[in-house]
Amino acid sequence: MEQGNYSVGLDIGTTKIVAIIGRENEYGKIEVLGTGKSKSLGVHRGVVNNITQTISSIQQAVEQAELNAGLKIGSVVVGIAGQHIRSLQHSDYITRPNSEEVINDDDLDKLCNQVYKLVMLPGEEIIHVLPQEYKVDGQSEIKEPCGMYGGRLEANFHVVVGQVSSIKNIGRCIKSAGLDLGNITLEPLASAEAVLSQEEKEAGVALIDIGGGTTDLAIFKDGIIRHTAVIPFGGNVITEDIKEGCSIIEKQAELLKIKFGSAWPGENKDNEIVSIPGLRGREPKEITLKNLSKIIHARVVEIIEQVYVEIKNYGHDEQKKKLIAGIVLTGGGSQLKHLKQLVEYITGMDTRIGYPNEHLAGNSDDEVASPLYATAVGLLMNAVENENRTEIQEEEPVLDEILVEQESGSKTPTSTTHRERKSIFDKWSEKLKDFLDNAE
């Protein structure tokens, strides 16, 4: 199969790195061609802290996916998370020179690009500028201003900001692993893409992605992203607590959590006991399941309460901002027994577990439809969408061409098919390419 027919999502997580190769089939669903998974060793709480180990983990996952699919991977879409991510609301406007002409994509581009020029704290960079509602000449709540007349175009934006160094480190790992960086997306946005339905986004929903090192939150209402947050702990701290509380090694703690763990201590009888082999010649340890779930419960409650604070910060208590569809849990941590009931109990909101199978073709591997892969599937969808947009653009300027042309300073023949891609591109590609080339 020739290059350009398929796309790749790469999820660099705290516990695992996943590469998924896929393409869109004729029904608009995503067909997964190959997956690769490796243990992630150089990432802590969503942030790369050991470049060499991360590179080898990425290569492992990519090689496995390539073998699986019988394809060579070129450019990838990567997710970014970590406690350095913050989001803010910002409104901006432009005055159009000619109000006799209808508003077109160029005007929206101009407005978006203006937001990219916001002055951030030193060492921070804007990752996403997501328009919420537009206003044309004071008329508010316009979702799609294209084709309207008006002199003054305003918009509210949800701006996602991250640390330059963390972003560069990810770029560095990708490049050193022999890949091209197609795009960077905020991980909660990718997971939301994969597991939420349009109806839920309209009604109002909070997506909680409980990963190994971070818990990501994305809130939608009226079909528009309203709030994003990254909370710097996830499944790892639960394992850590079990390890400390039961004085066992991490591997055993992880297995205990997966096999016997529950978020609801009342479930276990007092006489249910698990015996764990001792280390080299020591006596085995006996642990009651009740104690195990007490340890898990305490930590899970802490995570959920933190997330709930963020949901309240968004303004869920106001009638107009109420999240009718409640909460969707995804990520590896969402597979903990009785977690759904506990979340409903703490927040009082309807909850379901989100599987990324809504957009996958029917013949996909069952494994990929697990909540573990939500972020990776979302990144793959983002990559497919980028691929489609590139095809729509005149004569399909390939990614590398765009980057090369931007570096040489000549103007790229970008079309106005989609604003988000272009603005993220302009900003990013130049900086990252320059940086990585200089860093060699």
User: pLDDT digits over 187-208, tens only?
Assistant: 999 999 999 999 999 999 999 9
User: pLDDT digits over 24-57, tens only?
Assistant: 888 888 999 999 999 999 999 889 999 999 999 9
Reading across the β-sheet that carries 205-210, which strands appear in turn?
A: 224-231, 215-221, 205-210, 326-330, 351-353
User: pLDDT digits over 166-191, tens only?
Assistant: 999 999 999 999 999 988 999 999 99
Dist CA 326 CA 1 (whole Å): 43
User: pLDDT digits over 293-351, tens only?
Assistant: 999 999 999 999 999 999 999 988 888 899 999 999 999 999 999 999 999 999 999 99
Please, are residues 234 and 303 in contact by the beta-carbon 8 Å criterion?
Answer: yes
Concatenating the DSSP letter of every residue in 234-258 gives -HHHHHHHHHHHHT--HHHHHHHHH
Give me the pLDDT at residue 317, please: 85
Please, are residues 186 and 81 in contact by the beta-carbon 8 Å criterion?
Answer: yes
Contacts by residues 175-181 (CB-CB < 8 Å, ≥ 24 positions apart): 175/436, 176/51, 176/55, 177/55, 177/58, 177/59, 177/62, 178/59, 179/10, 179/58, 179/62, 179/73, 179/74, 179/75, 179/76, 180/74, 180/75, 180/76, 180/399, 180/400, 181/75, 181/76, 181/78, 181/432
Structure tokens at 252: 């055993």
Residue 190 C-alpha from the chain's centroid: 4
Dist CA 114 CA 1 (whole Å): 41
Give me the pLDDT at residue 37, please: 94
Dist CA 194 CA 384 (whole Å): 12
Give me the pLDDT at residue 414, please: 37
User: Which neighbouring-strand residues pair with 275?
Assistant: 286
Domains of the chain: 1-82+163-196+358-440 (3.30.420.40), 198-354 (3.30.420.40)
Structure tokens at 108: 């929206």
